[in-house]
């Protein structure tokens, strides 16, 4: 199960992370977010120790999505060394996220 991050620990957990980090920005009543949730959980287990894969509830944490200009959700952002290296929106496939991680985070 992917951990949840908040506005208050985003800096420490993601920006200062020693390994790449992927954040799923979601909301409880968003249909495609419901579809993506299990995929993100699977990826968190698969990449454990290599990529920090977490979720952020935008309804409870408005500061971070505002900072990153998020509008449609789910939005998935991949960070490396505290910088955004890739961003996708919508119910994307698991393989496309794996490709993104391989090319942009682990490559």
Partner 1 sequence: MSEPKEETLHRVRNYVTKYCAKTGLTTHSMPEVTDAVVAGLANHIDTLGKPLCPCRFYPDKAEEIKSRTWLCPCEDMKKYKYCHCMLFVNEDGMPVTEHLPEGHEGIATYGVTKDPAPEKYNPPK
Least CB distance to partner 1 at residue 49 (A)? 29
- 37 belongs to the catalytic site: no
Instruction: List interacting residues with partner 1 (CB under 8 A).
Output: 25, 27-35, 58-59, 62, 65-66, 70-73, 88-92
- 25 belongs to the catalytic site: no
**84 vs 30, 42, 68, 81, CA distance in Å?**
24, 22, 9, 9
Q: Which is nearer to partner 1, 34 or 94 (CB)?
A: 34
Least CB distance to partner 1 at residue 81 (A)? 25
Q: What is the dihedral of CA 19, 65, 10, 78, to 10 degrees?
A: 0
Q: Which is nearer to partner 1, 18 or 71 (CB)?
A: 71
Q: What is the dihedral of CA 12, 106, 46, 57, to 10 degrees?
A: 40
Residues labelled as active-site residues: 30, 33
């Amino acid at each position: 199960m992917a951990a949840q991050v908040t506005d208050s620990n985003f800096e420490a957990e993601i920006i200062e992370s020693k390994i790449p980090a992927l954040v799923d920005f979601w909301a409880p009543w968003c249909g495609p977010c419901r579809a993506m949730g299990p995929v993100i959980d699977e990826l968190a287990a698969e990449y454990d120790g290599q990529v920090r894969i977490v979720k952020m509830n935008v309804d409870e944490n408005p500061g971070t999505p505002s900072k990153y200009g998020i509008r449609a959700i789910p939005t998935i952002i991949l960070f490396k060394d505290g910088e955004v290296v890739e961003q996708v929106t919508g119910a994307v496939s698991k393989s496309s996220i794996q490709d993104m991680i391989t090319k942009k985070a682990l490559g």
